[in-house]
Structure 1
Amino acid sequence: MLCSASSFINFFKNKAAFLFVLVIEMVPGTSLAQKVKSSLTIEKIMQGTGFTGTSPSEIAWSEDSRFIYFKWNPEKARADSLYKVTATGENTTKVNRPEADFLPTPNGRYNRTYTLKVYEKEGDIYLYDNKTNTSRQLTKTLEPEANPVFSGDEQQVVFTQNSNLFSLHLSSGQLTQLTNFLPGAKKTETKNDQEKWLQQQQLALFDIIKKRTEEEKIEQSENKKFKKKQAKAIYTGEKTVENAILSPDGKFVSYSLVTRPANVKKTIVPDYVTASGFTEDISSRTKVGAPLAASEMGLYDIGKDTTYQISFKDIKGITDQPAFLKDKKKITTPRPVAFFGPFWSDNGKNAVLVLRSFDNKDRWLVQFNPGTRALKVLDRQHDEAWLNGPGIDYEAGDLGWLGDNETLWFQSEETGYSHVYTVNTRTNQKKQITKGKYEVSAVRLTRDKKNWYFQANKVHPGEMHFYRLAVRSGEPEQLTTGAGNHEVTLSPDEKTLAIRYSYTNKPWELFVMPNRTGAKPRQVTNSLTNEFKAYQWRDPEVISFKARDGAEVFARIYRPTNAIANGPAVVFVHGAGYLQNAHKWWSYYYREYMFHNFLVDQGYTVMDLDYRGSAGYGRDVRTGIYQFMGGKDLTDQVDGAAYLVQHYQVNPRKIGIYGGSYGGFITLMALFTQPDVFAAGAALRSVTDWAHYNHEYTSAILNEPFTDSTAYVKSSPIYHAAGLKGALLMCHGLVDTNVHFQDIIRLTQRLIELKKENWELAVYPVENHAFTEPSSWTDEYKRIFKLFEANLK
């Protein structure tokens, strides 16, 4: 269906429709604010990197620190290619296929002197020799090998194949199977009373039977003496084995036994536009609250040929009841936990496990002694909301051992911001290393264990710099300068920084710089197209304002040079929830950044704010949405709109809002629960009912639907759709395996039953959650612009 401007406006006034369309005629409305002649078009912007140019990515050093390798596409080819440049930033060349195939993968494990590196590539194990710059293939099998590490004495490479551990001796080449995990139960022959009686009768009656039976026993006894020693058969029943780890002394194997629930329903996503011409079903994810896989820790004592189960029931706090359940039945059984590790010290004498409760309220660092199977809690991190943050995340997090082999470093939000801490396993002494109202991320310890390197937004929440901190001193040394973001990859010899740098209106480029303060970075890549450089991209003002509860909210403002009072405005809501976008570097939402420049050319003021729940501002901002998404994260948008009216002379009746994913969810909540604030909104790939989203993300914030139903009702737009007044555009990919198309269809039916007429749904048949086709991007953003032109001008 094609729409003229007048029919489009009448459409919103008079009727609702379900539009299955991919083409729209663009007829801009009349602007009351001053416009400037713009060279930008939505078609150009939505070409993505075809318009901007492709920035370098996947930065990695050669093992000898002579070259930097990176993915790049200056030729506008079908896909990015591998390039390399010298450590001084000279002689950028494309890497040919034979050289690329030879290169060790960036992941892998070194020996203690960093002369050898073992790594997995395409399912086989390789050994790289740093002295000779050569790689040797250790395995070449049909079955894939993974997780290679050096043994404690560094004479062997230990790896997994089909969940079992193997060791390969580097000198002799001997391959040894260390574990023998077998599915099912051990088969044992049992006889009933009748069979036993008949067997005894035969022995009593016939001498030949007695003679042969005795000879058979003697032969079995002799064979047992000379039988080749094999790994103990460990039967796992219906459980699967994961994370098998050999202790450095070679005496113990720790492992996970995972029980996966049967018959757990997953959402089916139909794919209609297929090569076969038939509808094909995509099996997607489960929904929040589905039964989870349970894991337990096993330990195999090789010398004693015995297995044990490690119990966590006595860990302090493991039976504590979360606050939101305080009025319900008290629990006495341990809460289920996931465990990670063990992580061994370099000398192999200390090991630590990371435990994390399934309800995301607790994280324990636990010292583990496999000989005695003793557990000692070194640190407990607890949050009645949920634990996350830089260096913490939902798994093991970032941690490691200092040079004394008894002090562990890790990250914690104990002070409200993610910082580096140490704890001594012998004395239990805990020490905070970095301090302040900023966040530390990407922490790494140097090879000589004398310095930490990390990134932090210490200067400003919207700036990211690279720091060095001596283990034995206390003040971080800032190595990078200039506003923006510096993503640093340190050379193996730790003499040079490969820096991927960007600023608000300057996409990512690669620079190199000597590893010292005051050094000048040298630019390596020039990725921008002439067409992109021809436009004068705005550097939006980064401001902050006080929300209604006193919290500081940061935002970016895009403003027409000669803005007319009482003009229109648009509020953009970033996706992902836990993400930062009101910063001073090139946005992940770069198409939206360019679209905001286009909107300003058309006379709009645009605000892009980091609402409650966003990354970069510490624990309180991160958890401000606990049990109520669409609460403080939405009132921050409302307060931002009020700020626009007060400080930028925006017309309070001409404010629109839009965003994708979490931003689409907030847009729906804004139009449904704040209808007098936002006149129009575009909700893209939106969550409409959190009970239908995934478990990992949703349960941390809202708990589970059947234990905290009030949180889900408050937070889900589908329950608030009756409040819709303004014009609503919804856009969704039909093969979205993240936020399922079912989400928007359920809301559509709800709007129909509520007899709402001022909404539109545009469907994109070949798109997943993240659109890939420029034609889809173009169509979507033409619709968004037309929505704003029709309702805000």
Structure 2
Amino acid sequence: MRRLLLASLIAFYVLPATAAAAAMATAPLDIETIMANPDWIGQAVESPYWSVDGRSLYYSLKRDGSPVRDLYKLDPASGQSVKLDPAAMAQADGPAVFDREHRHAAFILHGDVFVVDLASGRRQQVTRTPQEESSPQFSADGRALQYRDGNDWYSYDLASGVAAPVAVLNFADDPQAKQPDDLGELQLKLFKTLREIKADKQALRDEDKALDAADPGRAAAPFWLGDKSRAVDTELSPDGRWMLVVTVPKDHAKGEAPKVNHYVTDSGYTEPKDARTYVGRNDPAAQSLLLLDLHNHQQYPLKTDSLPGIKDDPLKAIRAQTVAELEKAGKQNEAKALKAPEIRAVRIVANAEDGGGGGIAWSDDGSHLAIQLRAIDNKDRWITSVDFSRHALVSQHRLTDNAWINWNFNDFGWLKDNRTLWYMSEETGYSQLYTKTLDGQAKALTSGKFEVSHPLLSDDGKWFYVRSNQVAPYSYDVYRLPVGGGALSRITNYQGMDDFKLSPDGSQLAVLHSSPYVLSQLAVQAAGGGTPRELTHTMKSAFTARDWIAPKIVEVKSSHGAGSIYAKYYGPAGETDAPASRPAVIFVHGAGYLQNVTLSSTYYFREQMFHNLLVQQGYVVLDMDYRASEGYGRAWRTAIYRQMGHPELEDLLDGKAWLVQNHGVDPKRVGIYGGSYGGFMTEMALLRAPGEFAAGAALRPVSDWTLYNHEYTADILNDPQLDPAAYQTSSPIEYADKLQDPLLIQHGLIDDNVMAADSIRLYQRFIELHKQNFWMSLYPLERHGFVHADSWYDEYRRIDELFQTYVKPVKSAVPSK
């Protein structure tokens, strides 16, 4: 192996460039190369944004041999790019927001707030603190810049340069509001001096209130919000009149956190660390809404008990069945605990990049507020407006899903008229874009059997820019349409578009795009369409010189009425007639709700190279977007509700049949592997369809869904206490007695997402069941996503050996282990 690597290096440095490239292109692949530190491939362009003046673009690149991201500044006109040193970074812009008249811009740089006068170019640093300020926004009248530090909001007056807190939130009881008890009343009755002292204190408070009302330069009076809750989010209206406070109970019980043991440590001692809690052991805390009137210093709770359907129980049938079974088993206390709530608890739907405020949207002028709420049982999503005169929520849109509301497609906001809502909804079965006036009917701006996402409203309020796969499920580009409705026009033609940013003047689009063997690169083009100008090339010749197999996107027909299952097929170049018999491998992507069959670069770039190696060794490979995958609409996503691992297995078996029928694959020589959800599916495939796969490798698999987290699992399987049947149906450990085919389990020991205990418990079940041909390899310094090249190499060396032993040979010749 070392001789092979040395020969490659000599060829690179000694031979002419074209000869070296040819040598690289034809050199056989090996696991040590493809699982090496991926810096040899190149780096993806990350996080692009426009400069304040719109003349430059900034982007980040990972530094070779380091996790550090360097910041680059690029001139779109010339294509010249320069890496910024620390001094230049201190003068860089951050992603900017603008006032309505485009007189000022503001951004966050190294956690501090900066403001720029666009006419003069003068730049002013507003804060210099050890805290991380965030969320800059200009006031509706353009006279102030508002920003936050945690949940505290500040306003910076552009004319005076004075910054002050907008409101002071005290989560305690107002000491002045405490009323005397009967003993205190007696004291006041008996002693004149005490009455005088009390009267003097009240006079001082009244004077303070009068001065506060007359002098806006005085500090804001505190709000006393009680000691029973704490804030998880606050959002300030642009006009400075209102603040919305989102709270949770302070005493919300936390479930016991399991421990993850770190065995290889700096200290030399085993170090146990807390991990996340299990599903059903720590339900999310219900959230409450409090509206603060900052001008009149009043507070009003916004009650959710009038939302349509809030008193319904969508889990009524499942609840009744489970309660009956518990009562029959004599478990009266458990049955009583499953009593349906009178009013369902809700939470804000967060969909903001900074992790907060995504479920709250103020109109630009601050006159309207919209709040997006989601039931904790995950069956309903409401978009509400706020009636400020009644201090009440008004339902504007309700989305109900018998399975679960999608994690994506919850974007919403206001048009520039400050009175019309726009929002995304999956109500037709596919994510589409809608508008609605507060007293009118909703209007669909897009429609069809394709997904629309990432909506961006142009600053002039005339256009929506969106990401869509209108042409084909696997092909993504930027589209735009008029705000009032009209044709959805395709703006880019990459088929692998990853992200886009509109320039400050709205005339240009910065576009991140990629392809199967090209990581995200940056281009710029006119916002209305046209020929793009490519600006970056960060791939390395050692990678690009190779003759990689272009994955062929194919449609596998479902034998279960699900339509077409899209997949990527990897086979030998120039393949015509298939041989009579060949081995195959099916790869199963992770996350469940993830789309891997696209024309973009893939998260699974190492696996993609491994598939090239497998083809080199005589296999063919199929990579499927089984049911549950993203990009194919609601029905495809929710097919797994209460039965994870069942529709997906049907699709994988259809993929195997397609390989047998169309590519001469021996049905007895098909292997399967995948990580995370793909590892879970590998176990389900071997345990629920014994004899269908010659061998499988399950990487960091979920083996028992009762041990996974709440946020993901409860959406799909409900709570385990309420719906134990769904967990029993969906967990590989329940089928352990069916193991008959070789299974390799691989897990990072410090994985705090899918914990190694998952795999160890299944391993123990196999031991007790006296099973054979199962193995486990553990990686002491790896979490859920492996990061060390040695671990990647060892992991895939073992997978390769598994397939070489049990899949590639004719099955009758497979040795027994």
Q: Per-residue CA shift, 1:604-629, capped at 9, x if unaligned?
A: 01000000000111111111111111
Q: How big is the shift at 1:470?
A: 1.7
In structure 1, the residue matched to 2:466 is 454
Q: Per-residue CA shift, 1:729-772, capped at 9, x if unaligned?
A: 11100110111111111111111111112111001100010101
Contact kept? 1:685, 1:769, Cα under 8 Å: yes
Q: Are the structure 2 counterparts of residues 158 and 67 from structure 1 closer, same or farther at C-alpha, using a change threshold of 3 Å?
A: closer
Aligned mates of 2:473, 2:516 — CA distance in 1 = 14
Contact kept? 2:581, 2:664, Cα under 8 Å: yes
Higher relative contact order, structure no. (Cα contacts within 8 Å, ≥ 6 residues apart): 1
Unaligned residue ranges in structure 2 (runs of 5+): 1-24, 213-219, 324-338, 350-358, 810-817
Q: How big is the shift at 1:92?
A: 1.9
Q: How big is the shift at 1:198?
A: 6.9
Of 229, 244, 257, the residue aligned with 2:234 is 244
Q: How does 1:165-184 map to 2 (within 5 A)?
A: 165-184=153-172
TM-score, L = length of structure 1: 0.89
In structure 2, the residue matched to 1:259 is 249
Contact kept? 1:127, 1:138, Cα under 8 Å: yes
Contact kept? 2:291, 2:300, Cα under 8 Å: yes
Of 50, 55, 66, the residue aligned with 2:39 is 50
In structure 2, the residue matched to 1:12 is none
Q: How does 1:287-366 map to 2 (within 5 A)?
A: 287-289=278-280, 290-323=282-315, 325=317, 328=320, 331=340, 333-339=342-348, 341-366=359-384
Q: How big is the shift at 1:439?
A: 0.6
Of 429, 434, 438, the residue aligned with 1:416 is 429
In structure 1, the residue matched to 2:141 is 153
Q: Are the structure 2 counterparts of residues 489 and 179 from structure 1 closer, same or farther at C-alpha, using a change threshold of 3 Å?
A: closer
Q: How does 1:387-406 map to 2 (within 5 A)?
A: 387-388=405-406, 390-392=408-410, 398-406=411-419
In structure 1, the residue matched to 2:269 is 278
Aligned mates of 2:244, 2:717 — CA distance in 1 = 34
In structure 1, the residue matched to 2:355 is none
Q: Are the structure 2 counterparts of residues 600 and 494 from structure 1 closer, same or farther at C-alpha, using a change threshold of 3 Å?
A: same
In structure 1, the residue matched to 2:11 is none
Q: Are the structure 2 counterparts of residues 742 and 166 from structure 1 closer, same or farther at C-alpha, using a change threshold of 3 Å?
A: same
In structure 2, the residue matched to 1:479 is 491
Q: Does 1:436 align with 2:445?
A: no
Q: How big is the shift at 1:168?
A: 2.9
2:583 alignment partner AA: P
Q: Are the structure 2 counterparts of residues 218 and 349 from structure 1 closer, same or farther at C-alpha, using a change threshold of 3 Å?
A: closer
Q: How big is the shift at 1:579?
A: 0.6
Of 63, 75, 84, the residue aligned with 1:86 is 75
Q: Are the structure 2 counterparts of residues 272 and 476 from structure 1 closer, same or farther at C-alpha, using a change threshold of 3 Å?
A: same
In structure 2, the residue matched to 1:767 is 782
Of 541, 544, 547, the residue aligned with 1:530 is 541
Aligned mates of 2:711, 2:779 — CA distance in 1 = 27
Q: Are the structure 2 counterparts of residues 48 and 612 from structure 1 closer, same or farther at C-alpha, using a change threshold of 3 Å?
A: farther
1:114 alignment partner AA: H
Contact kept? 1:733, 1:766, Cα under 8 Å: yes
Q: Which secondary structure state, in structure 2, belongs to the residue aligned with residue 784 of structure 1?
A: helix
1:407 alignment partner AA: T
2:453 alignment partner AA: S
Larger displacement relative to structure 2 (151-160 or 703-712):
151-160
1:564 alignment partner AA: P
Q: Are the structure 2 counterparts of residues 176 and 535 from structure 1 closer, same or farther at C-alpha, using a change threshold of 3 Å?
A: closer
Q: How big is the shift at 1:63?
A: 1.6
In structure 1, the residue matched to 2:617 is 602
Q: Which secondary structure state, in structure 2, belongs to the residue aligned with residue 102 of structure 1?
A: coil
In structure 1, the residue matched to 2:4 is none
Contact kept? 1:127, 1:137, Cα under 8 Å: yes
1:254 alignment partner AA: L
2:555 alignment partner AA: S
Q: Which secondary structure state, in structure 2, belongs to the residue aligned with residue 570 of structure 1?
A: strand
**Sequence identity of aligned pairs in percent?**
38
Aligned mates of 1:459, 1:473 — CA distance in 2 = 20
In structure 2, the residue matched to 1:749 is 764
Q: Which secondary structure state, in structure 1, belongs to the residue aligned with residue 548 of structure 2?
A: coil
Q: Are the structure 2 counterparts of residues 198 and 365 from structure 1 closer, same or farther at C-alpha, using a change threshold of 3 Å?
A: closer
Larger displacement relative to structure 2 (780-789 or 523-532):
523-532
Aligned mates of 2:782, 2:605 — CA distance in 1 = 19
In structure 2, the residue matched to 1:386 is 404
Q: Which secondary structure state, in structure 2, belongs to the residue aligned with residue 711 of structure 1?
A: helix
Unaligned residue ranges in structure 1 (runs of 5+): 1-35, 204-209, 393-397
Q: How big is the shift at 1:85?
A: 1.8
Aligned mates of 1:332, 1:194 — CA distance in 2 = 41
Of 408, 418, 425, the residue aligned with 2:438 is 425
Q: Per-residue CA shift, 1:449-477, capped at 9, x if unaligned?
A: 10111111111111111112122341111
Q: Per-residue CA shift, 1:330-367, capped at 9, x if unaligned?
A: 84611111135542222332221111111111111112
1:269 alignment partner AA: V
Of 576, 590, 595, the residue aligned with 1:580 is 595
Q: How big is the shift at 1:38?
A: 5.4
Aligned mates of 1:269, 1:59 — CA distance in 2 = 37
2:139 alignment partner AA: S
Larger displacement relative to structure 2 (739-748 or 522-531):
522-531
TM-score, L = length of structure 2: 0.86
Contact kept? 2:245, 2:290, Cα under 8 Å: yes
Q: Are the structure 2 counterparts of residues 740 and 38 from structure 1 closer, same or farther at C-alpha, using a change threshold of 3 Å?
A: same
Of 125, 150, 153, the residue aligned with 1:137 is 125
Of 79, 85, 106, the residue aligned with 1:96 is 85
Of 670, 683, 687, the residue aligned with 1:672 is 687
In structure 1, the residue matched to 2:56 is 67
Aligned mates of 1:220, 1:304 — CA distance in 2 = 22
Contact kept? 2:318, 2:722, Cα under 8 Å: no
Q: Which secondary structure state, in structure 2, belongs to the residue aligned with residue 788 of structure 1?
A: helix
Aligned length: 742
Q: How big is the shift at 1:182?
A: 2.0
Of 792, 795, 805, the residue aligned with 1:777 is 792
Q: How big is the shift at 1:322?
A: 1.2
In structure 2, the residue matched to 1:510 is 522
Q: Are the structure 2 counterparts of residues 195 and 78 from structure 1 closer, same or farther at C-alpha, using a change threshold of 3 Å?
A: closer
Q: Which secondary structure state, in structure 2, belongs to the residue aligned with residue 298 of structure 1?
A: strand
Q: Are the structure 2 counterparts of residues 535 and 262 from structure 1 closer, same or farther at C-alpha, using a change threshold of 3 Å?
A: same
Aligned mates of 1:60, 1:162 — CA distance in 2 = 24
Q: Are the structure 2 counterparts of residues 464 and 215 from structure 1 closer, same or farther at C-alpha, using a change threshold of 3 Å?
A: closer
Aligned mates of 2:485, 2:554 — CA distance in 1 = 35
